[in-house]
């Protein structure tokens, strides 16, 4: 995080009600605050950085245990999603530095999205879609998440889905696909429709800006070229006669009328809307299966001689003496094996979810819950891949 950002640029806002927060109390901790699109409460940040580390850690552990206790009995609640929604919101507010081993945000989002996958009550709930969008921002390839949502008809009636997906595609310079997604949302009359229409107009205006700038710069470039080439003279004589008998024209070996080959990105024209007749997609597969084309085939090592370099081996330098602190040796720090194992497990799980966010979701062969499952709405026809 850049320390030079102002509090306004980082989205830190003051609560409209309640006591006024001293902004100087969080000025020195700006580099530990990750900017958020929705902004961050100054009062919440002051509470996070206002207490000692030990007191804060104990308080967070107590509150987290309270949420986990609520999750144990959420199946008896009328709105079980509310528990996860408050849990995620609490995590984001109390860990402004973003996801780390202490916040445990990514595994929490994975649990929440997976738990309600087959609950049709929440297919178009803004809170459930918000968790999916947060999850997409934490993984290596967000397009996988958006393609999975389209195939499972999650958030298809909400304008936020199409805006976020189009924003991602625009950042990847896949403008035709971004426009296709926005058109899909408008055709499905995603709500709020007025906001989606306004976003589409802004997108079209951004797409036209480079064309307008190029048109405005054309006359200026013409004047510059004329001043370099000199004044225009009669066609019967040359303004710059050839010197030294050098012949002007196209370079040797090049045909003057040969067409220029234009590079075409095959992925840019591929549709991002899955085909409605495609098979259901309830499992993404492993990260290894998606990267198998980039892995070299294993070969036999026994009896194979490696190519040796003809250079002479360098003379090894003298070893450096490593400094050792005598005080640290006298008072060694003892590590808790259980805490170390738990920390290693969390780090491994976070890495797996980053590369394969749907690894814990049910596979095609596993039976799916049918108590709350209803027939999914058909989508517009298109290709299934989200490239």
Q: How far is CA 191 from CA 156, 159, 162, 186, 231, in A?
A: 9, 5, 10, 9, 61
Asked if residue 270 lies in contact with residue 387, where contact means CB atoms within 8 angstroms, the answer is: yes
Residue 145 has pLDDT above 70, yes or no: yes
Residue-wise pLDDT tens digits, 348-363:
777 788 888 888 887 6
pTM of the full predicted structure? 0.59
pLDDT at 382: 43
- Average per-residue pLDDT in the chain? 73
Given pLDDT bands bounded at 50, 70 and 90, which one contains residue 199? very high
Which segment of 7-16, 71-80, 114-123, 303-312 scores lowest on mean pLDDT?
7-16
Residue-wise pLDDT tens digits, 62-104:
999 999 999 999 999 999 999 999 999 999 988 887 777 888 9
CA separation for the pair 116, 127 (Å, rounded): 11
Secondary structure element (H or E) that encloses residue 41, with its range: strand 40-41
Residue-wise pLDDT tens digits, 13-57:
445 555 555 555 555 455 555 565 555 555 555 555 556 778 888
CA separation for the pair 210, 162 (Å, rounded): 24
Secondary structure element (H or E) that encloses residue 124, with its range: none
Secondary structure element (H or E) that encloses residue 23, with its range: none
CATH architecture for the domain at 116-215+368-387: Alpha Horseshoe (1.25)
Structural domain spans, the chain: 116-215+368-387
Nearest to 2 by CA among 35, 36, 31: 31
Q: Is the omega angle on the peptide bond into residue 192 within 30 degrees of 0, that is, cis?
A: yes
CB atoms near residue 171 (< 10 Å): 10
């Amino acid at each position: 995080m850049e320390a030079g950002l102002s509090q306004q640029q980082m989205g830190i806002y003051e609560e409209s009600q309640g006591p006024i927060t001293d902004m100087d109390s969080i000025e020195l901790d700006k580099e530990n605050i990750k900017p958020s699109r929705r902004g961050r409460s100054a009062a919440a940040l002051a509470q996070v950085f206002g207490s000692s580390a030990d007191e804060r850690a104990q308080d967070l552990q107590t509150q987290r245990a309270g949420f986990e206790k609520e999750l144990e009995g959420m199946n008896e609640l009328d709105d079980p999603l509310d528990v996860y929604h408050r849990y995620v919101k609490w995590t984001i507010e109390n860990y402004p530095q973003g996801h780390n081993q202490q916040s445990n945000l990514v595994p929490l989002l994975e649990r929440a999205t997976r738990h309600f996958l087959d609950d049709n009550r929440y297919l178009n709930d803004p809170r459930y879609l918000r968790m999916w969008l947060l999850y997409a921002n934490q993984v290596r390839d967000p397009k996988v998440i958006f393609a999975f949502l389209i195939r499972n008809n999650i958030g298809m009636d909400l304008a936020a889905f199409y805006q976020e997906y189009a924003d991602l595609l625009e950042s990847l310079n896949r403008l035709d696909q971004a426009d296709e997604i926005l058109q899909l949302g408008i055709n499905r009359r995603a709500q709020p429709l007025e906001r989606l229409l306004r976003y589409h107009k802004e997108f079209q205006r951004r797409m036209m800006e480079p064309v307008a700038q190029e048109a405005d710069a054309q006359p200026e470039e013409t004047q510059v070229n004329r001043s370099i080439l000199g004044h225009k003279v009669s066609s019967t004589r040359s303004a710059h006669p050839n010197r030294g008998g050098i012949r002007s024209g196209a370079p040797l070996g090049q045909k003057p009328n040969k067409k220029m080959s234009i590079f075409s990105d095959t992925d840019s024209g591929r549709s991002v809307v899955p085909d409605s007749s495609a098979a259901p997609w309830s499992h993404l597969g492993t990260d290894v299966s998606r990267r198998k084309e980039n892995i070299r085939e294993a070969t036999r090592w026994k009896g194979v001689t490696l190519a040796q370099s003809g250079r002479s081996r360098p003379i090894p330098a003298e070893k450096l003496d490593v400094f050792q602190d005598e005080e640290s040796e006298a008072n060694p720090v003892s590590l808790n094996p259980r805490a170390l194992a738990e920390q290693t497990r969390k780090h491994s799980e976070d890495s797996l979810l980053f590369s394969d966010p749907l690894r814990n979701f049910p596979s095609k062969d596993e039976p799916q819950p049918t108590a709350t499952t209803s027939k999914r709405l058909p989508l517009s026809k298109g290709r299934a891949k989200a490239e």
